Amino acid sequence: MSELHVPAIQLNDGNLIPQLGLGVWRVDDAVAERVVSEALEIGYRHIDTASFYQNERAVGRAIAASGISRDELFVTTKLWNTDQRDPHGAFHASLERLGLDKIDLYLVHWPVPTKGTAVGAWRGLIELVGSPECDSIGVSNFEIEHLTELQRETGVVAAVNQIELHPLHQRRELREFCADRGIAVAAWGPLGQGITDLLQRPAVTGAAAAHGKTPAQVVIRWHLQHGTIVFPKTTHRERMIENAAVFDFALSEAEMAAIDALDAQHRLGGDPYVFTGE
């Protein structure tokens, strides 16, 4: 079993979260157990899943088989949109599927403003956090007005906001808003989901050539240097190893600026103002 020296970020509730992890979105349950097992063997200690991904059981089986002490692992999962009226029930269902005694970070998956259920869901998470079963709570895909509403209605600020974030969609205003309130930002789709030309852009390939790294490693490094929590998704062991080999170099200010300049506000995923998942 390997060891990765991944830096941790301190959340606004005092808990620590590894800055690099493995995401398992769109990884079938039949494949996810192998993928997570390999990631844990390589040295990953942060796994990001969700009830909607339908692979929590596989994640749990891999963790159970790993023999790794629970206090060395960080597991994130999420409350799905249709469960927002019963956050306690959904939380405990995820806990059961994972086969764990606690969830390190539990997120409201989407704000679904057309339903008006997010604040109630957030109140439910507030009731859970700090119990032996839940260390930290946050949100995913929340825009500034959604975050503002949660704080106004409950007085409790999310520890994390997980958003679509990559060099073509940099969300600078939202990131600044989160930074001002101590909300850590986590990136999903950090490499552009493999459906853009991001990894062929000269700003990325040039930095890769300069450092003897791959374009993907450069983009992951860009996220890390911006202080973002990042969990690139892959089902390939060699790519997991590659994605983690990003702590032995640093991008220069000029290289960071060149990648910063790629921002095109190009969203690839759902629009948080209208997405319901139905």
Token code pair at residue 100? 């764990």
Residue 101 burial (CB count, 10 A): 9
CA–CA dist 150, 234 (Å, integer): 33
2: pLDDT strictly greater than 70: no
Residue type, position 265, single letter: Q
| Mean pLDDT in residue range 7-32 | 94
pLDDT per residue as tens digits for the range 239-271: 999 999 999 999 999 999 999 999 999 999 999
| Mean pLDDT in residue range 171-175 | 98
Per-residue 3-state assignment (H helix, E strand, C coil) for 94-163: HHHHHCCCCEEEEEECCCCCCCCCHHHHHHHHHHHCCCCCEEEEEEECCCHHHHHHHHHHHCCCCCEEEE
Q: Taking the model in full, what pTM does it have?
A: 0.96
CA–CA dist 192, 164 (Å, integer): 9
Task: Write out the H or E segment, with its range, that includes residue 254.
Answer: helix 253-260
CA–CA dist 184, 182 (Å, integer): 6
For residue 19, which of 154, 148, 178, 190 has the smallest C-alpha distance? 190
In the chain, the domains with their CATH numbers are 16-192+227-234 (3.20.20.100)
106 included as an active-site residue: no
CA–CA dist 259, 226 (Å, integer): 11
162: pLDDT strictly greater than 60: yes
For residue 47, which of 71, 4, 26, 76 has the smallest C-alpha distance? 76
1: pLDDT strictly greater than 50: no
Find all residues with CB under 8 Å of 118, minimum gap 6, and list them: 84, 108, 111, 112, 146, 149, 150
Task: Write out the H or E segment, with its range, that includes residue 171.
Answer: none
Q: What percent of the chain has pLDDT over 90?
A: 93
pLDDT per residue as tens digits for the range 89-127: 999 999 999 999 999 999 999 999 999 999 999 999 999
3: pLDDT strictly greater than 80: no
Supply the mean pLDDT for the chain: 96
Contact between 58 and 33 (Cβ < 8 Å): yes
| Mean pLDDT in residue range 166-179 | 98
Find all residues with CB under 8 Å of 133, minimum gap 6, and list them: 91, 92, 95, 101, 102, 103
pLDDT per residue as tens digits for the range 25-75: 888 888 999 999 999 999 999 999 999 999 999 999 999 999 999 999 999
- Rounded (10°) CA dihedral 113, 176, 108, 27: 110
Q: What percent of the chain has pLDDT over 70?
A: 99
Of the candidates 44, 53, 106, 273, the residue annotated as catalytic is 53
